[in-house]
Amino acid sequence: MARISINEAYNHFATTYVAKENANVDKHKKSELQNVYKSIAKINKNSPLHVLQQDDNAQAEAVGIKEHARFLKSQLESLGSSESAGLDKRSAVSSDPEKVSVEYVGSGQSASPEFTLSVDRLATNQINAGHFLADEEVSLTPGAYSFNIAVGKHDYEFQYSIKDGDTNKDIQSKLSRLINKAGIGLVAGLQEDSEGRSTLIIGSTDTGLKPGSTLRFEITESSGASTGSVAYFGLNLIAQEPSNAHFYINGNEHYSSSNRFTVGNAYDITLKAGTAPDAPVTIGVKNKSDTLVENVTTLVDGYNNFIDSLNDVQSAGYKSHKLTGETIAIARSNLKATSEFGISLTEDGHISYDSQLMKDKFLSGTGQEVLDPLMHLAKDLIAKADEISIDPMKYVERPVFNYKDPNGTDNPSPYITSEYSGMMFNNYC
C-alpha cells in the first residue's frame, strides 16, 4: 500500500480518536476547576427547581450554544489574559504561512529579532500497517491470544480471544478498539483496499524519536497464550519509521522531535512543509498598528460569529432571542464612543468595523483610547461565555417546579446543572 494512503488513513483515525485540543479552554488549573464547581453549586443553591420539558431539539441546541460559547472564549483569550491589555499583544508573521506558521508567545511588548528558517525534513510518527486479509474466517486456532506493546519504557499486554466463526475483520476491529481505549499514545483503525480486504493500521500520536531510541513503539508476541497472531495480522510490520524534524535557523542546524516548538521564548513555530534550500521562510513580528487591527478584527469577528450562531437556532424550545439580547446589550454598553474609530453596532446587533480607519487612527497616535472599551467588551464576553458554559439550560423553556427554602437549609445540589450541561462533553472532558 502506498505511503500516502497510509498517512491519509492515520490522519482519519487520529482526528476520530485523539482528544480535541483547544489550548485556551480545555486545559485548566486545579483552582479553575474548583471555581467551576463552586459556581455550579451556587447556582443551584440559590435557584428554584425547574421541570425540563422533553424537547431533545432544545437540549441539543443548548449543547451547541455551549460549544459556540467555549469557542468564543478561546478566541478572546488568545488575545491575552483578562488582566493584561491583550489587544496590543504583539503578533508574529511568517513570510510563507503555508510552510511555516507562527504565533507570538513572548511576554513583553518589545519586538523580538526576526530570523530565517529553512526546513529540510518534517518530524514523522511511526505507523505500523498489517497484512491485507479477506473478510473470512480467521485461520488461527480458536482460543486466548495476547501480545505486548512497548511504548518508551512502559510495556502493555493486550489479551483477547478468537472464537469459532470470527472473521479477520472482526478481530482487526476488536484489536483496534482495544488499542484506542488503552490510552497509551497510539491510535488504530482499519483500512480497506479495492478488493475489500482490510488491514489494521497502528500509529503513534507523537512524532520524532527520543534519545537512544529507534522506534516509538514495538509490538511482540506474549508468552503463556496461543501464539502467532502478531505475525498473522502483521501487527509488527513498520510502514513508516519515526523521524525528527531537521531544519536550519539563520543557517544553524537544528533537530526537533515535534513539528511544533518555541524559538527564543517568543515564537511558537509549526512546521507544515519543507522549503527550498534557497528560499528560507522569514519569521518576525508585525508592526504595532497591524497587530492592533488584527486583534480587534479577531474580537469583532468572534462576537459576530457568536451572534450568527444564536440566530441559526431553530428550536422553539430554546430561548435564543433572550441570549441574543443579553449579548447585544453587552456590546451596546461598551461601544458607545467607538464610532469615530470605525467600530459601531448595527441594527441587527452585529459589530461593523473599518480596518483602514482603525489603522489610520492607530498610526496617528489617537487610537489608544479605543482599546479600553474594547478590552472591557472582551472581558464581559468572556464572563458571558463562562456563564453559558456553566448553565446553557438557563435558556431552555423550563417551568418553575418548586422554590428553594428561603432559609437556605437545602443542600446545594451541585450536580443538577452539570447533569444536563456541564458533563455533555465528547472526548475532551
Rg (CA), the chain: 27
pLDDT tens track, the chain, 429 positions: 444 466 666 666 666 655 544 444 455 667 777 777 777 777 767 676 666 666 677 777 777 888 888 888 887 876 654 444 456 667 788 999 999 999 888 776 566 788 999 999 999 999 999 999 999 999 999 999 999 999 988 999 999 999 999 999 999 999 999 999 999 999 999 999 989 999 999 999 999 998 888 999 999 998 877 889 999 999 999 999 999 999 999 999 999 999 999 998 889 999 999 888 888 999 988 777 777 888 888 889 999 999 998 888 777 777 788 889 999 999 999 988 888 888 899 999 999 988 888 878 777 776 667 778 888 888 899 889 888 888 877 777 666 656 555 565 555 555 455 444 444 444 444
CA quadruple 188, 191, 196, 197: dihedral sign: negative
Single-letter amino acid code for the residue at 181? K
Contact 133, 287 (CB under 8 A): no
Instruction: Report angle CA 2, 255, 216 to the nearest 5 degrees.
Output: 50
- Fold category of 125-240 in CATH: Immunoglobulin-like (2.60.40)
Q: How many other C-beta atoms lie within 10 A of the C-beta of residue 414?
A: 17
Cell triple for 271: 512546521
CA within 13 Å, CB half, 37 = 7
pLDDT tens sequence across 49-68: 666 666 677 777 777 888 88
Helix spans in 283-334 (H):
288-311, 320-334
* Boundaries of every domain in the chain: 3-88+289-420, 92-123+244-285, 125-240
| Residue whose grid cell is 480467521 | 138
Give SS3 for 428: coil
Please give the pLDDT value at position 30: 73
User: Using CA atoms, how far apart are residues 66 and 44, in angstroms rounded to an integer?
Assistant: 18
The DSSP secondary structure of 208-273, one letter per residue, reads: S--TT-S-SEEEEEPSSSB--HHHHHTTT-EEE--B-EEEEETTEEEEESSSEEEETTTEEEEE-S
**Dihedrals phi, psi of 235, to nearest 5 degrees:** -65, -25
Give SS3 for 408: coil
pLDDT tens sequence across 91-150: 788 999 999 999 888 776 566 788 999 999 999 999 999 999 999 999 999 999 999 999
* pTM score over 0.95: no
Instruction: Give the largest CA-CA distance in the chain.
Output: 81
CA quadruple 99, 105, 106, 110: dihedral sign: positive
